[in-house]
Each structure stands twice: as structure tokens, then as C-alpha cells.
Homo-oligomer: A and B are copies of this chain.
Amino acid sequence: MLSLATTPVHSATLGSQLYSPWPSDALSDFLRSAGKLVTYERDEAIYHEGDASHYLFRVQNGAVRICKFRIEGQRQIDAFYLPGDYFGFDMQQQCRFTAEATTTSTLLVADVASFLSPGLKAADFVSAVWKTALRDLHRSQDHSLLLGRNAHVRVLAFLHDIATRLKRTSTIELPMSRQDIADYLGLTIETVSRTLSDLVRDGAIDLPSSRSIAFRSPVKGVQ
């Protein structure tokens, strides 16, 4: 059994106190030992919607999109995973999304079986797994909120989000295409392009090349 906190604690601590506390990169350490590095080319599928889910992942470099395709052919991107992000922990029997590399990417890939192999104290990872689930939930909630805003706000918030996650404050190299951004923001590629041009015109950003964004004012979140 797991030991229990004896003082009244916050629900916040469900993930850190309630479950045995481990250094935050225990999961990374495990994946590094149990998994192997796999490189995916741009647009290469990592798994498909409906596949049985057998693997756990960590992005080492590059970027991954998880998306769905509608009968009419349109693609909707639910999330991007960037270097340092874990994914594959939230799945049940089947993959709910298709995962693809948006650019040449290296992933650490481990079989779920190894994660649950005898002798491994799976409970030690509960805290870390909980963290990834909560992080995904919060990102998804933020994404929903963002989709209620206009194109200008969506694009700017997207850029800021990517910058924050890449730990950059002044310039970023976008690891995805305009089409990827459009499908994530629920816009068309033309609207994304026009909005970026507007942002340059307004002096919010510079666009030294189509994949690099330079912020004129320091990066901060959108209300």
C-alpha cells in the first residue's frame, strides 16, 4: 500500500504527496533505459487512430501532432507534443487520435509491457503519469478556450504557447507548417498567413523566414 499523508492536504497534492514522490524525471529515466530512440520523418505516422495502444513516448526533438481526419477529408489537430513532452499515457484500448511527426523527429519509445513488467514498481510512476494527464487536460482546456477567440488572438496565443514550451523568449523556429497551425487553430492556412502578415505590420513580430518568428515584445500569455 502507498503511505498516506497524515495532515490535511490539497487536492493539488494528489499527484505529489498522495502518491510516492519521485524525482520528476524518473519517468524519463525509465523510458531511457526501457525504451529506444526512433526517428520519424516529416509526416510519418507514429500510430493511427483506432490502433491498439502499445507504446509510451517521449519527444526528444522535433514535434508530433495528434489529429483526426473527417470523412470530408479535413484534418483537425488536437495537440502538438514538443521536446520533453510525454504522450501515450492517456490511452485506453484504442488510440483516439493519429500521431504523426510534423518534422523529422526523434522519440524515445517504450513498450507498455516493459512499463508494467514484474519487478518494476509501477506505483512509483503514478505521480509522473498523473502529471502528464493533468498537463494534457489543462492544455486541452486552454485549447478549447482559445478556439472561442478571433484569428488574431488565436495565432498570437499559439506563438506564445510554443515559445513558452520551447523555453524561448525572443525568437522561435516553428517545428510545423502553416497547414499544421491552421488545423490546430481551426482556421485556414490563408487566414493564418494573413494574420501573421498583420502581426508583422502591427509590429508585434518579425518574420525573418516563414518558419522563424521573432517577438518584438517579451512573450507572455493571453488572458
Contact = CB atoms under 8 A, between A and B. Distances in A.
A83 interface: no
B93 A12 contact: yes
Interface residues of A, number: 64
A118 B6 contact: yes
- Interface hub of A2, A12, A144 (most chain B Cβ within 10 A): A144
Contact of A223 (B71, B92, B134): B71
A194 interface: no
B112 A78 contact: no
29 contacts: A2-B2, A4-B119, A4-B120, A4-B121, A5-B116, A6-B118, A8-B111, A8-B112, A8-B116, A9-B113, A9-B116, A11-B56, A11-B112, A12-B92, A12-B93, A13-B116, A18-B116, A19-B126, A68-B145, A70-B223, A78-B141, A123-B123, A126-B126, A130-B133, A133-B137, A143-B144, A144-B147, A147-B147, A147-B186
Nearest to A111: B8
Interface string A60-89: 000000001011000010110000000011
Contacts of A186: 147-148
B8 A134 contact: no
Interface in A1-28: 1-2, 4-6, 8-15, 18-19
Interface in A113-129: 113, 115-123, 126, 129
Contacts of A112: 8-11
Interface string A130-142: 1001101110110
Given A4-B116, A140-B140, A14 B145 contact: no
Contact of A76 (B12, B136, B145): B145
A102 interface: no
A122 B2 contact: yes
A90 interface: yes
